[in-house]
Amino acid sequence: MAAGDEAAVNRAADIAGAALGLALASPVLAAAAIAIRLEDGGPILYRQRRVGRHGKEFELLKLRTMVVGAERQGAGWAVNEGDPRITRVGRLLRRGSLDELPQLWNVVRGDMSLIGPRPTLRYQVERYTPRQRKRLEVKPGLTGWAQVHGRARLPWEERIELDVWYVEHRSPRVDLEILLRTPLALFTGTYKGETGGWRAR
C-alpha cells in the first residue's frame, strides 16, 4: 500500500473509531460535565498546549480534574497522586483516565490519532535527543506502546524509548495489540495518560 493510501486508511479509521467512542462515551461525558460544574462552578474542560506531529502545537482537551488555576498554586505543573488540588470529582475521573475522553475530539480534528505516543509539553520536547525526536514523526495518540507497558512505573528515558520503538515498528498488528491491552492497563492501574507522570489539569 502506498504511503498516501495508508495515511488515508489510518485517518478514516481514526475518525470512525473516535466518532464511535464519542457516541458511546456521551453519557459518561454528560454526567462528568454536570458533576464538575456542580462541585465548584468552574469550567468543565481544561485546555493545554501540547506538541504533536513534526513539533506542531495544538490545544489538548481534558475534563478538568483540579481546582481552577491549579498550575499557579502549590507545585505548579507537577502533580502527585494525592495532590490536594485535585477535586473530589477529579479523583474519580483520573482513576480510569476518564478525564482523557474529550481527546476523542482531538482525534476527530486531526490533532491526534487513536494510537501513538502521548502528546508532550514543549519544555519536554526541548530536552529530546536526536533519537528521541523520532517520537514526533507520528501523531500523538490516546494510548500507545509505552502506556500498555506500565508507563507510570517506568523511568522517563525508558518510556521515550518505548515510543521510539513504536515509531520504528508500527504496524496494524502492533496497533491491534495496543488496543487489546489498553483496557487491562486501565483496570490494573498501570496506565497514565500523561507523558512524564501526573500533570496539572
Query: Can you say whether residue 97 is alpha, beta or left, with left for phi > 0 and alpha for psi between -120 and 50 degrees?
Result: left
Is 54 inside any structural domain? Answer: yes
Q: Which amino acid, one-letter code, is at 170?
A: R
Residues with Cβ within 8 Å of 54's Cβ and at least 6 positions away in sequence, in order, are: 136, 137
In a domain, 53, yes or no: yes
Interatomic CA distance for residues 115 and 92, integer angstroms: 24
Asked, for residue 200, whether it belongs to a domain, the answer is: no
The average confidence (pLDDT) of the chain is 87
pLDDT given at position 195:
38
Domain containing residue 20 = 3-187
Distance CA 73, CA 197 (A): 18
Q: How much is the pTM? A: 0.86
Which residues, 6+ apart, have CB-to-CB distance to 59 below 8 Å?
Answer: 47, 48, 49, 50, 111
Question: Does residue 197 belong to any structural domain of this protein?
Answer: no
Does a structural domain hold residue 80?
yes
Spans of the chain, pLDDT less than 50: 193-201
In this structure, is residue 194 part of a structural domain?
no
Tens-place pLDDT, residues 4-45: 777 888 999 999 999 999 999 999 999 999 999 999 999 999
How many H-runs (helices) and E-runs (strands) does the chain carry?
A: 6, 4
Number of folded domains in the chain?
A: 1
Q: Judge whether 192 lies within some domain.
A: no
| CB distance 70 to 200 below 8 Å | yes
How many whole angstroms separate alpha carbon 23 and alpha carbon 92? 21
Q: Is residue 151 part of a domain?
A: yes
